[in-house]
Amino acid sequence: MPVRLPFRPRRDAYPPDLWTKCPGCAEMLFNKQLDKSLRVCPHCGHHFRIPAKTRIEQLVDSGSFIERDSDLSPVDALGFVDLKAYPDRLMAAQLSTGLRDAAVWGIGNIGGRPVSMCVMDFGFIGGSMGSVVGEKVARAGEAAIADRIPLIIISSSGGARMQEGTYSLMQLVKTMGVVERVKAARVPFISVMTDPTTGGVFASFAVVGDVNLAEPNALIRFAGDRVSSGTISEELPAGYARAEFWFSHGFVDRIVARAHLRDEIIALLGFLIAPPLNGSAETPQAPVSRPRSFLSALTGALTGENVAESHNGETGASRGEAPRG
């Protein structure tokens, strides 16, 4: 019990939940230690779900992320009421997460290279994709095309948001339309599927990355349990629709533990480089030795690097393949 003394006020700020029980191995984990291990159980490797902003902090170069469109807010277009009115659900989710909707997007650097990044937050109504989430994914893709920087989408979602009806369904088309343009523009797109990636999110942008990564044991699935058990009766084997299942069925390139995710992305970005817009190999090359600020890295992505093949290996090695931790 904290002793309430005037000269130790910080004690009041101690959270009541100092410990977390791991659902994988039932070990009691000290939360501070769990945060240090990126919220992965040090005993059994269980990957806890993490909020979008924590994910961003883990991946980007410290302090480089600039969020965009944080003020986009959802609208109750249908006047939807189930056991609770949709606006009430939104309000509760906004208060508990501090987000306006279930995705955060912005521009940040990973290993010195600027990327456009969209991260979904499962804590906000199950990370479900309504109009705002779809819009943010689309804007992240469009920014990637405009700046010719890689697009990284970290999915964590139960699927389309039922409370926005067919507008949610249309977000699948909206996001896929932009992703098709990302591909046509030859801008790299890395999709990271985390626990869980299901329904309409799995059946749209999450599954069609240039490279699909997944966190260990993440649930990835199109038809949810409650949907399929209500429609058809079929016994499902253990480990069904987990990341390893998709790896063995050929829909995931690599299963990456959270501790290695940043390094994996850096390594991949060292290979996936958007070619210059006009495809002209004669574009003047920026000096390679220039310090990599945000802007120069951007110019580099626009003009340099991929021009002279002799530099590719070198820059790839110095920039991309940082020593693995």
Site residues for another protein, 147-186, by CB under 8 A, read 160-174, 176-181, 184
Phi, psi of 151 (to 5 degrees): -105, 130
Indicate which single residue of 2, 31, 314, 324 sits in contact with another protein (rule: CB under 8 A). Answer: 31
Distance in Å, CB of 263 to another protein, minimum: 20
Indicate which single residue of 7, 9, 238, 249 sits in contact with another protein (rule: CB under 8 A). Answer: 249
Distance in Å, CB of 192 to another protein, minimum: 16
Contact positions with another protein (CB under 8 A) in 52-81:
53-54, 56-57, 63, 65-67, 70-75, 77-81
CA distance 57 to 24: 25
In 126-259, at which residue ranges do the beta strands (DSSP E only) sit?
A: 151-157, 189-198, 211-214, 220-221, 254-255
Single out the segment in contact with another protein by CB under 8 A; choices: 90-98, 144-152, 273-281, 282-290.
90-98
Given the complex with another protein, which of 206 and 307 has the nearer CB atom? 206
Given the complex with another protein, which of 205 and 215 has the nearer CB atom? 205
Indicate which single residue of 185, 186, 208, 311 sits in contact with another protein (rule: CB under 8 A). Answer: 208
Contact positions with another protein (CB under 8 A) in 268-297:
none
Given the complex with another protein, which of 200 and 270 has the nearer CB atom? 200
Task: Tell me: does residue 105 bind another protein (CB under 8 A).
Answer: no
Task: Tell me: does residue 222 bind another protein (CB under 8 A).
Answer: yes
Single out the segment in contact with another protein by CB under 8 A; choices: 148-156, 239-247, 279-287, 292-300.
239-247
Indicate which single residue of 16, 279, 287, 325 sits in contact with another protein (rule: CB under 8 A). Answer: 16
The three-class DSSP label of residue 209 is coil
In terms of Cα–Cα distance, which of 167, 177, 136, 174 is closest to 153? 136
Rounded alpha-carbon distances, angstroms, from residue 322 to 98, 149, 188, 315, 316: 34, 20, 20, 11, 10
Rounded alpha-carbon distances, angstroms, from residue 288 to 61, 76, 312, 316: 20, 51, 11, 11
Task: Tell me: does residue 242 bind another protein (CB under 8 A).
Answer: no
Q: What is the Cα Rg of the chain in Å?
A: 21
Q: Evaluate whether 56 touches 119 at the Cβ level (below 8 Å).
A: yes
